[in-house]
Structure formats: C-alpha cells, structure tokens
Structure 1
C-alpha cells in the first residue's frame, strides 16, 4: 500500500514518512539503533513493504516471503523498553506493543525483539522467549 511521503510516519516519531522510515526503506539512510530498526520495520508492516522487511531480517531466521492481511491496519506503536542496541553495541532488544485493527476489532501484538548487526547493519533476529 503506497504511503504519501509527506504524511506522518507510522512509527510515531513525528517526522514525515519520507524523512523518517521511508528514507530507511528506500536505502537512503540506515537505522542507527535497534529501536530505530524496530520502528522502521513496524512502518514497513504498516505500508506493506515486504522487500524491506526481508532485507532487515537476519538471514538465519528470515522467512521465504511475507504475506500481508489486507484487512489488518497497524494503528500505533509503543516502545516499552530497550536493552543495549545503541550505535555502540552489536546486539540489543526492543520490547514493544504494536496496536492494530482487523475486521473492526482492535488488538495488539506484544513482543520483546532481539536484534544484532550483520555487516554493520542492524537486523531483526527473533522474539525473546
């Protein structure tokens, strides 16, 4: 689903999509922290950017493809906490709650995600159990 580059970014940081996560999706910027990668991945789910999601997924845990539910709309992201994941770390976690609606009903996904660097770039590994 195409996203107008001047609209607010779905990640919730207050910048336009084009200047925020859109620039990361297009490869013009990189995510400097695990949290920023988490936010850019949430935005990619919101705009149905499967190519970016696959690129930002660790090769050992990456699925073959991503199927989007056309009825699901991501509505808000809450970052609940982070561990490490700064520009000075090689690993980190981001705990989040992603809110959505589907079929007229609200829901949320709560996860503590693990991130690491591959060739200097942050990538999503998996959920911490």
Structure 2
C-alpha cells in the first residue's frame, strides 16, 4: 500500500512546528537524508503517521530490521514529544489511540551512522 499523501504546507506530523515540506517531507521523499538521529527519529514518526513502510524499512539498520513491516490505520498516531536527543540516542513520547483507548509509547531509540547515513538500530521502553 502506498504512503498517505500529506499537504506540503501543513505542519509536519512530527510536531516540529515547521511545514512538512521543510521538515520530514524531503526525508520521506528521499531528497534529503536525515542529518541527525533526532531528524531521523522525527521522520520515522511521520512515516508511521503516513503509513510509509518502505521508508521505515529503508531507515532501519539491516542487523535489526524485520523482514517485512505492516503499517495501517491502527494505531492512530496523535502526537510526538522529543524529550531528549544526545549523541546517538533520542528519547521520546508518542501519543496514540488504538481501538478507542489513548496511550503513550515512551522509548529511548538508538541510531547508528554508516557511510554518512543514519539508521534506526533499536529502542527500549522508558
């Protein structure tokens, strides 16, 4: 299933308060790679919102990447708050709703840079 379209002038789903075309849009389109772990994490959140499994798999490190990934209408992503970004880790809270119940995902994600590109390696709750 192709990713959902997103208006370039609308505020980015990653909650950066920037238009999508100036934030995650160029990363998801492949025009501009993420320059930092935080930028990659934000673009991956936007990819979940837009149901872009291809981008998620492409930016996932091959040693931890699943063979396939299904993204769909559940959960419904409601918002992102980056709590801390330092070095190769980003701590965040993502709010979502699933089957009418609102929840939070709190994660500390680790990223690795190879050949000048950042990749998501893994994450632990917390």
Q: TM-score, normalised by structure 2?
A: 0.90
- Does the 8 Å CA contact 2:33/2:117 hold for their aligned counterparts? yes
Gapped regions of structure 2 (runs ≥ 5): none
Residue 19 (structure 2) aligns with: 16
Runs of 4 or more, structure 1, over 4 Å off, are: none
Q: Quote the Cα distance in structure 1 between the aligned partners of 2:38 and 2:122.
A: 14
User: How many residues in Structure 1 have an aligned counterpart in Structure 2?
Assistant: 122
Q: Quote the Cα distance in structure 2 between the aligned partners of 1:62 and 1:6.
A: 32
Q: Quote the Cα distance in structure 1 between the aligned partners of 2:74 and 2:36.
A: 31
Gapped regions of structure 1 (runs ≥ 5): 85-91
Question: Does residue 118 of structure 1 match 2:114?
Answer: yes
- Does the 8 Å CA contact 2:51/2:72 hold for their aligned counterparts? no
1:11-90 aligned at under 5 Å gives the runs 11-84=14-87
3-state SS of the aligned residue for 2:79?
Answer: strand
Q: Quote the Cα distance in structure 2 between the aligned partners of 1:32 and 1:45.
A: 19
1:64 shift after superposition = 1.2
Residue 109 (structure 1) aligns with: 105
Post-superposition Cα deviations, 1:12-59, rounded to whole Å, max 9, x if no partner, equal: 111111221011011111111101111000000000111111110001
Q: Quote the Cα distance in structure 2 between the aligned partners of 1:71 and 1:126.
A: 22
Q: Quote the Cα distance in structure 1 between the aligned partners of 2:83 and 2:21.
A: 25
1:128 shift after superposition = 4.2
Q: TM-score, normalised by structure 1?
A: 0.88
